[in-house]
Amino acid sequence: MLDTYIGRRQSGIKLANRIAYTGESPLWRNNIMRRRDFLTTITTATTANLANQLPALESVNERFPAPPPLPFGDRPSGLKIKSVRAARLVPKIPVPTYQPTNGVWDGYQVEVANPLSIYPRFKPRRSLVLADDLGVESVVVETNKGITGYGFGGAGASFFVDRHLPKLVLGEDPFQVERLSDIMYRGTLYYGRKGAAIHAVSAVDNALWDIVGKALQQPVYQLLTTKQPKPVPAYCTGNNIDQAVDFGYTKLKLALPHGPADGEAGLDKNEELVRGARQKLGPDGKLMLDCWMSLTESYTEQLAARLAPYDVYWMEECLMPDDYVGMGRLNAKIKSTKMATGEHEATRYGFELLARHKSAQIWQPDMNWCGGLTELRWIDALARSHGLPVILHGGYRGGSSHFVYANENTPWCEMFLPLPGGPPEVYRRFEQEHQITRGPEGIYMRPPQRPGFGFELKPA
């Protein structure tokens, strides 16, 4: 199924996009207008007034393919942003805590190849590399009419949410997601562009979408498509292979344990891991490998050659994310598997560099790290213009599943299973939250049907 996305001809993609992106359904707009009583208070803006409120961005964006028009358009909503704050969000109904089964792979207290693996002191456990506490990654945005939005970002987001972003968006209409996304991006350019600043922009932007969905009494995915989507095939990330296969996954992504510093012995162990996974998954399952920015070009070529007999579908983030040229060389040389990247890339400008250098066949932006849902729509439009699929990093979390579900250019969803050893309620709630079903491609998921992102959360 995924090969059909990668094999499309560029001219066909551009033609399809031109048709899809210029259409607009009056029925869709009218249906939205009936969904909420408060919309009857929306004032009618003249063309001149609207032009004053929304500065023209066409000159900035003219070289980028545009995403589809937003169904809620440019109309003033009557809502105003009253407050923006970083806050830890917790489930309304607490999830049981438990001690995972001894010896399971948890992604932290185990060896995982990483950018610092070249230094012996950082090799034994991934937890030696990761920050202990960079603050909360979620935000709460309140409006003047009592509608509150929740949004998720990434590491370090709270610093900028607490100290800068409210200054840029307070008093604004939360429905103006394109305008506010641009304001936050431009306002943080002098210290931002990528990383923690964009993580913060992502969190606030996502919270605005949550507000829009709640105001219109629609799940966010209905704001992204006029079609009725189908459940999305999912793959499982992690090295608890038996658990994933027993659960029903037919697609599995492994975390590479060893990098160049481990030499030939590390290559042998990596091959052993992949061989064992292929045996348990069977010949028809999809097998991927996450290299987490840890390899060199020469090591990647050696590893790809070693793993060719096991039909690895893609190798992910082989090099550090700024090495666009190196990734492009690997993408041109290696034929036994596909190159994938984008988890640590941000904004349409960063992904334009991936496109320019032909660095990957699969793009993997993270909605909570790349600039938020508004920017993700631009990244996806760019990917479509190059005939590339977009398979989100962490596609099941933080509201991302709404984009995955609505977007025909996103054929799979990444998921993580709760660790082995928990009470049955943990796994039952996991299945309920993500509306898990099973079918020919293994596990399928859908987002919540509740308004907004459908989070069942509250501030701690």
Q: Which residues participate in catalysis according to the annotation?
A: 393
User: Coil, helix or strand for 423?
Assistant: coil
Distances (CA, A) of 304 to 107, 270, 288, 331: 23, 11, 12, 11
Q: How far apart are CA 308 and CA 88, in angstroms?
A: 44
Strand 413-415 and strand 232-237: the pairing is parallel
Alpha helix segments (H runs only) across 23-151:
26-33, 47-53, 58-61
Instruction: Please report, as a single letter, which amino acid is at residue 351.
Output: F
| Dihedral sign from CA coordinates of 361, 366, 369, 374 | positive
| Residues 396 and 402: beta-carbon distance below 8 Å | no
Structure tokens that stand for 118 in this block: 């070249």
For helices 177-187 and 373-385, give the axis angle rounded to 10 degrees: 90
Q: How far apart are the C-alpha atoms of 42 and 39, rounded to whole Å?
A: 5
Whole-angstrom distance, CA of residue 331 vs CA of residue 337: 9
Measured distance CA(143)–CA(203) in Å, rounded = 16
Name the helix (H) or strand (E) containing 278: helix 263-281
Coil, strand or helix at 141 = strand
Segment holding 459, helix H or strand E? strand 457-459
